[in-house]
């Protein structure tokens, strides 16, 4: 499962993270806090990821076990504006 955590901290919010979340919801056909029907993607909000000047930032994690066992050891990707996050998610979907 891919866990997509979009930062909603102040700096990312000013850099359109809300719009990126809307785009992710559309691409994945779920709302924040939900998992896709096929169990491949989960969309979440997160607090500051400490890359503020490069926002909006998104943490991409993978989990092979129960969500309660997920470690925060994913990769933070910067400048995840709506169109860039859309492209990233589509690429992940094609390769899942």
Q: How far is the CB of 55 from ligand FES (least distance, A)?
A: 5
Residue with smaller CB distance to ligand FES, 22 or 40: 22
Helix (H) or strand (E) holding 75: strand 75-77
Q: CB–CB of 41/67 below 8 Å?
A: no
Residue with smaller CB distance to ligand FES, 13 or 29: 13
Residue with smaller CB distance to ligand FES, 20 or 41: 20
Query: Which residue ranges make up the site for ligand FES (CB under 6 A)?
Result: 7, 9-12, 48-52, 55, 57
Q: CB–CB of 44/61 below 8 Å?
A: no
Tell me whether strands 75-77 and 2-7 are parallel, antiparallel or unpaired.
unpaired
Separation CA 77–CA 6 (nearest Å): 10
Q: How far is the CB of 94 from ligand FES (least distance, A)?
A: 27
Q: How far is the CB of 17 from ligand FES (least distance, A)?
A: 7
Q: Which residue is nearest to ligand FES (CB)?
A: 9
Two tokens, residue 65: 């076990």
């Amino acid at each position: 499962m891919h866990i997509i955590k979009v930062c909603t901290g102040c700096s990312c919010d000013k850099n359109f993270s809300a719009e990126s979340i809307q785009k992710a919801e559309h691409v994945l056909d779920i709302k924040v806090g939900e998992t896709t029907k096929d169990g491949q993607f989960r969309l979440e909000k997160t607090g500051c990821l400490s890359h503020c000047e490069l926002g909006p930032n998104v943490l991409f994690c993978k989990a092979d076990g129960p969500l309660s066992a997920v470690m925060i050891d994913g990769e933070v990707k910067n400048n995840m504006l709506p169109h860039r996050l859309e492209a990233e998610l589509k690429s992940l979907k094609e390769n899942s």
